[in-house]
Structure 1
């Protein structure tokens, strides 16, 4: 459960999913059969295929896109995976821009953008955009082949935040990413470092111009034989400009069809083309004026859409032309190379077409000269067609241009549920942003969705305010809307880690309206499971999920999303994990992860939840490498999309894993990160466990002053929890009790530790926290042994072992106390006749004896050479690492964002051949690499 959704007005599920291949934003134009092969230019591009960046700058019609389409075709046989994205003016929004990048790369492999997509729509601030870019880059880095990303019409991006996003993409790009930027204007990007490293190819109009020979070949391909002298004249008149040459060819073909002699020569004598404006004027005068009136009318109406197909065109002209005529016209325009081309790899019953941007600009000029009434009429027809064919984003866009904001709002309300069922809340966010605020405010259903989207984006105060306002405006007898608000209230409590607050609305939560659909039932079940678990009623939580009828929405099973059956099974696994029954948890989580892969993005929430739970299982079973592989690279993502319970597990498990591997800096860093995350969101339970674990780490290495300061913070936190939050207070007191016991043991005050341990064991038993009870039971046995109470020590250890065996625990027993392993060995030596305990003891001993990968290894000259390639900024980061500063403080010190610091760390680890902060600092110390001031890192 990442967010608990709320029902909205339902509509039939859209089964006509929009295909990438039908959208011109993510597909290159199809290369024409008569386009001249520009071997000189393509050779340059092929030679640069492994550079980080290729910049192609030139005016409209200079052949940028055509050249890159040919380059793309040349790269495909070489095994490159290629994504294409054409920006339009509406992309100049930081949310749209990054979402488009994610979508384009997802065409290569959905896994590339899976984690970045989860972050989409959860914020538009710089840090939110940067972390999304980093998640996308991580996905690219994990892709097994070379990736080329072609970004066309980048000049449409004017927002500085979009420029920053592209800059991050360039700066953070892994070695297998190569970016081509096509623009009419200079790009405001810093390419100096890449230039110095020889990683940039920059092409401009001088490179894009046709040579005289290329111009002649092009003209012959377009209009047949032409004297070489006349071809040279046309080349000179067009100055090698591709669009000018194409217009000469069009003009000549039109005159040839009209039976005029000397067409090329006449074209040369009449036309002077050197810029896009002249191109538009000529096209308006010499091309459109020669077409039939119905053809021109169709083209003008087509221009209002970024893509068209035959049936859409028929709708745009109000059925004045039939489909056969439209198909014939589109085919003829394509075959005559008249700036209309089918979209590459189009699928389905109809072929989609796109207009050349210059052609479209000319046509739109005519369209905008018409009356507002006529313009609205065409947009209304476009809106109706896109609505009826399942393309809500384009439908809403045209409805707003038609001035029918009410229809646009109604459509968003209609498609909100299907989008959520598909796990595409990012698109819903984008649609809601398109609507005028007044239209949202007049529709309770849209206000409900806005509250839900506030929850999705972690804007909790805004969500609470929206819920309160809706409650005031919703009558007591409006059962269904009131219940949806109850679900939202409970979901907000879950995200705020406030089970006590959720308990106050439990009676309302239990009054489910009759005939509620699967979505409502799934949301209710997950919330109740979460609430029951925090009350210690684990069987009730499981029974609620296991006995529930199938979840059906619009006649289909609801499996994915955060309320489907996969998330429900995660809650069953979560209930076992809270009890400490990790064998059952592991089975459930592994099955969920396997099935989530089959459902893709719609099951991403369940996948994140299962990953966090499985990581805790793997740590318990001492599979440390598997823990890091599963969640370390996803810690940022899990922190931002998961419920607090998952975040708590991710950071404490990663801290414990690094501690066992000898990475003390990393172990503390994860706890400090958990502390900061929880403090910013006012989550005292998570803060308490972060502090308790820090106390245990500090006392184990003799840092008593730090332990005292942390313990004082923890005591103050425990004292601050009001009585109105008994559940939170109880758990914070357990965390504080654990920290005090660890402090007493470190100071050899074993009597005080023994006194404190018994109430802790009783409290854990009362709440069903069996794993914690085993941990404290084993610690109590070790304390008893140190006090000389050997019988009590033996009995306590055996009780903990038998209970631990039933639960499948390993690390819990070993982590209870440094002396636990020796006590277990001595106690089991007297229990040789018990084969079960003997077998269990062998497993525990094997876990204790398993030598984790050592962070230290012999330095070689190759290592030294790798270390020496650290940049000045990376060396500064390592210097601050050696001072045990967390990422946030390093970022503030260097004037960077925390996301940038994380990226530097990843590069540093790769260059040094290490996998942790401790190893990086040790390696730099080994080679005495100088920091920015020339001093050795100390």
Structure 2
């Protein structure tokens, strides 16, 4: 039998690859994917996935490398084994080769590599031809490589060949364009943002991407392409292609099934049965495997996902054949997902079907504000964003949910007035005591305390919190979510005001609610509560372990990043690093809590403004720290943030005193009424604890440099009592250190050493270092003179603090005045800060007393001072001393 008359079309690729995207990833896998020693490769994919293009590129690359290439395009006539082998012989003849028989092959004597390309093999596949290909796979010599492309999957005997290492089987996933390949393909046709949208919609389908490129390159794209990538796709061409090349191979019953379930993003057996009112969906889902990867089918459990373009085509087809059917199918899907707790999907279907009222009803039926407990703030926002704003404002319960979500995400500037208006509207409505909006109002009012607390100095949320908690407990048998919401707000304030012991109890209570797994979308809050409790106990290592462990594995934190939660986590990590004197790491975390006019959460404000300034000061940028605090005071005044204004002013007073600018500090203390504020702080739980601690430190340093320096020890004792009441061991540590320093300056050394001993015990247990460093050279002198006995945890902690002091001293010296003072002068300055005599300095530095005096004279001259005290003071101003 002679070759067919269309031989010219049978033995060359039917596509041009001149403008095709080079895909070395694909070619490499065609050549060397496992099993590496296979001589036969079968590439299967539906129409439009670029099989022929990839094979043509492989052939071109082989020719460039000096290989011989034989090409055969199959058609239905090739099912006849004799015709197939004759056509294959004709293809080989173009390379001056002869295929004698399937058994002998006549290729054993190959001297150069040979690539045999068989395109469209599904048209030739038959029992006889498949047996011939199997023989070829077993007998092909090492220099021969046979590549088949086919729309049909491998037959069982080819799977056996794969297990024997004789054939590599590749599918359409290989041909699907990666995001990088898609971007490269469209780079010359579309801007990056538009290319990204089209890439997401096409999901790597080469045929669709190529059509987009051709259409865009021809200038046919509309000017508003960025608004909707679907409107830019040549959908009619794609739909026609789907109809002609993909769907014609499917039985009518399967096509009917696809039209009925096309509204579903993910087709599982239960949802498909619900939409169809039948129980046979499993068999149809299984059949969809034949059009992979346009339909992706998972088998455990059976779930199918259709390509977005296929879904759109099927929905268009369904609506054309039966107008209004899509709206009905969306309505069924909305009710189904609503009944099964998939609220986002339910509302999405309701809106897509034009049933806006149904979407609103579903949110209210799912719990209204209580959704924050099981869906979380971010997911609640995503659910509400699907509904028109006008509809939300018509529904008081939806508006309450929206206001709560805004407060939780720290977008709370306008929520206070909006809530007050809505509260009046609900209370004035003649709806009766059973109105769910009134019930919701009690809990939302509780959360709105968060927003109000940022703007009021004296603030007591406890009665409202107690009412909400009791109401939640009373209704817990019907729905535990209101109680979870109430407890969350109470924990928020207990972490802010104390006491820590009550906060631990509330966290245990909310953990028991969450233990059932119904609130997994809020899981990041639970481990954040634990970390904050550990931080309050001074367990820095435990707090850090909780945060790092959960940050790496909690998918809800990674996927639904709530702004207020992210800022809180960064604040905690920064505080942990700061307590350990890891200042660079701490500053990085604090700067990640970027100041934001919309973010009025005290914890975030404290980190981004106050803690960041303290870090800068400790790192030697003293004047920058003071300027930062001054700016923070102005910002707080303009925004009405009373706590931040007090914090910034108090911190300024402290740092100015530590710099030796006592007169300026005293003037500022009088300006902000520091003494009066401290008197207010003496009432337990009257002010946020960070404010109490800032006032205590500021007032302490103010008194320590005043004629009434003895009162500094009294204040330290007051602060110690408050710290014990609230349950803050790190603050207890600070109070003991403050008392020790103040009493030592009054000559009461025995009592001072007692306080220092207790501080060392807490420091050793917690690993906190920076609080001691903040005491300056006077505190370091106390530590050096202290006798903690035989090697003890307290002695090890003291050594750690002194080591950190020395490291900070040299680091700051190198950063600021390295060119002013010589290395030896820096050593002398360090000894001077320890309040050592000239002889002791000489002994420690192994110098003569005269040499030390010479260095001191040089230091005084360079710093332009006359006394040791002035030298230390000036060194601090310049950032040389911690």
Map Cα deviations across residues 53-75 of structure 1 (whole Å, 9 max, x no partner).
Answer: xxxxxxxx99899999x99xxxx
Identify the match of residue 566 of structure 1 among 502, 527, 530.
Answer: 527
Match of residue 294, structure 2, among 341, 361, 383: 341
8 Å Cα contact 1:655/1:671 also seen in 2: yes
CA shift for structure 1 position 508: 2.0
TM-aligned CA distance change 1:467 to 1:573, over 3 Å: farther
The residue number in structure 1 matching 2:474 is 514
- Answering whether residue 378 of structure 2 is matched by residue 426 of structure 1, we say yes
Gaps of 5+ in 1: 1-33, 50-60, 72-147, 154-178, 192-203, 212-236, 242-273, 859-921, 923-938
Partner residue in 2 for 1:22? none
Task: Check whether the contact 1:593–1:611 (CA below 8 A) recurs between aligned residues.
Answer: no
Deviation at 1:790, TM superposition (A): 1.9
Equivalent residue in structure 2 for 1:435, among 387, 393, 397: 387
> Do the aligned residues in 1 keep the contact of 2:331 with 2:353 (CA within 8 Å)?
yes
User: Is 1:187 aligned to 2:187, yes or no?
Assistant: no
Alignment partners' CA distance in 1, 2:382 and 2:52:
31
Equivalent-residue separation in structure 2 for 1:66 and 1:660 (angstroms): 66
Alignment match of 2:648 (pick from 684, 690, 710): 690
- Quote how far apart the aligned CAs of 1:782 are: 4.3
How much has 1:616 moved relative to structure 2?
Answer: 2.9
Cα distance in 2 between the residues matched to 1:385 and 1:566 = 33
Alignment of 1:106-505 (within 5 A): 150=179, 182=186, 186-187=190-191, 323=281, 326-327=284-285, 330=288, 334=291, 341-343=294-296, 346=298, 348-355=300-307, 357=309, 373-384=324-335, 387=338, 391-414=342-365, 420=372, 424-437=376-389, 440=392, 445-465=397-417, 467-468=419-420, 469-470=422-423, 473=426, 485-495=441-451, 496-497=453-454, 500-505=459-464
1:819–1:459 distance in 2 versus 1, CA, 3 Å = same
C-alpha separation between the residues in 2 aligned to 1:393 and 1:65? 38
Q: Please give the alpha-carbon distance, in whole angstroms, between the structure 2 residues aligned to 1:541 and 1:366.
A: 59
The CA deviation at 1:832 is: 5.6
- Secondary structure at the residue paired with 1:728? coil
1:600 aligns with 2:555: yes
1:819-838 aligned at under 5 Å gives the runs 819-826=778-785, 828=786
For residues 464 and 628 of structure 1, what CA distance do their matches in structure 2 show? 33
CA change 1:570–1:609 in 2 (3 A) is farther
The equivalent residue for 1:551 is 512
Larger C-alpha radius of gyration, 1 or 2? 2
Q: Please give the alpha-carbon distance, in whole angstroms, between the structure 1 residues aligned to 2:805 and 2:193.
A: 53
Matched residue of 1:43: which SS?
Answer: coil
Say if 1:562 and 1:637 are closer, same or farther in 2 by CA, change over 3 A. farther
Pair 1:444–1:567, CA change in 2 (3 A): farther
Which residue of 1 is the match for residue 614 of structure 2?
A: 656
TM-score, normalized by length of structure 1? 0.52
Q: 1:287 to 1:531 in 2, by over 3 A?
A: closer
Give me the whole-angstrom Cα distance separating, in 2, the residues matched to 1:703 and 1:537.
36
CA distance in structure 2 between the aligned counterparts of 1:66 and 1:710, rounded to whole angstroms: 80
2:179 partner SS:
strand
| Higher RCO structure (Cα 8 Å, ≥6 apart) | 1
Q: Rate the CA distance shift 1:508–1:670 in 2: closer, same or farther, 3 A.
A: same
Distance 1:538 1:601 in 2: 27
Cα deviation, 1:569-624, whole Å, max 9, x if unaligned, reads: 345335xx3xxx52x45435534653565543259788875664454344333344
Equivalent-residue separation in structure 1 for 2:211 and 2:482 (angstroms): 62
Mapped contact 2:446–2:464 kept (Cα < 8 A):
yes
Match of 1:816 among 740, 762, 775: 775
The aligned counterpart of 1:116 is: none
How far apart are 1:650 and its partner, in Å?
A: 6.5
Deviation at 1:709, TM superposition (A): 8.1
- Within the candidate set 750, 754, 757, 1:798 is matched to 754
User: Shift of residue 727 of structure 1?
Assistant: 2.1
Aligned residues: CA RMSD:
6.0
Partner of 1:620: 579
Cα displacement string for residues 345-395 of structure 1 (whole angstroms, at most 9, x for unaligned residues): 7464334243573x6666665556577644433433444555567654343
Seen in structure 2, the aligned counterparts of structure 1 residues 803 and 480 have a Cα distance that, compared at 3 Å, is farther
Describe the shift of the 1:330–1:470 C-alpha distance in structure 2 as closer, same or farther (beyond 3 A): same
Q: Which residue of 2 aligns with 1:590?
A: 545
Tell me the CA shift for residue 667 of structure 1.
Answer: 4.7
Query: Larger deviation: 584-593 or 810-819?
Result: 584-593
| Count, aligned residues | 619
Assess, with a 3 A threshold, how the Cα gap between structure 1 residues 549 and 305 changes in structure 2: closer, same or farther. closer
SS at match of 1:352: strand
| Partner secondary structure for residue 790 of structure 1 | coil
Q: Following TM superposition, by how much is the alpha carbon of 1:502 offset from its aligned partner in structure 2, in angstroms?
A: 0.9
8 A Cα contact 2:443 2:468, kept in partner: yes
- Work out whether residues 778 and 797 of structure 1, in 8 Å CA contact, stay in contact via their aligned partners in 2: no
Task: Give the direction of change, closer, same or farther, for the CA distance of 1:555–1:470 in structure 2 (3 Å limit).
Answer: farther
Does the 8 Å contact 2:570/2:593 carry over to 1? no
| Long gaps (5+) in structure 2 | 1-12, 29-46, 58-176, 196-205, 219-232, 816-877
Mapped partners of 1:762, 1:210: distance in 2 = 74
Tell me the distance in 1 between the aligned counterparts of 2:311 and 2:426: 47
Partner of 1:644: 602
Shift of 1:464: 3.4
Indicate conservation of the 8 Å contact 1:422/1:602, yes or no: no
Per the alignment, do residues 432 and 314 of structure 1 end up closer, same or farther by CA in structure 2, a change over 3 Å counting?
A: same
- Relative distance call for 1:67 and 1:798 in structure 2 (3 A) is farther
Structure 1 partner of 2:114: none
Give the C-alpha shift of residue 551 in structure 1: 1.8
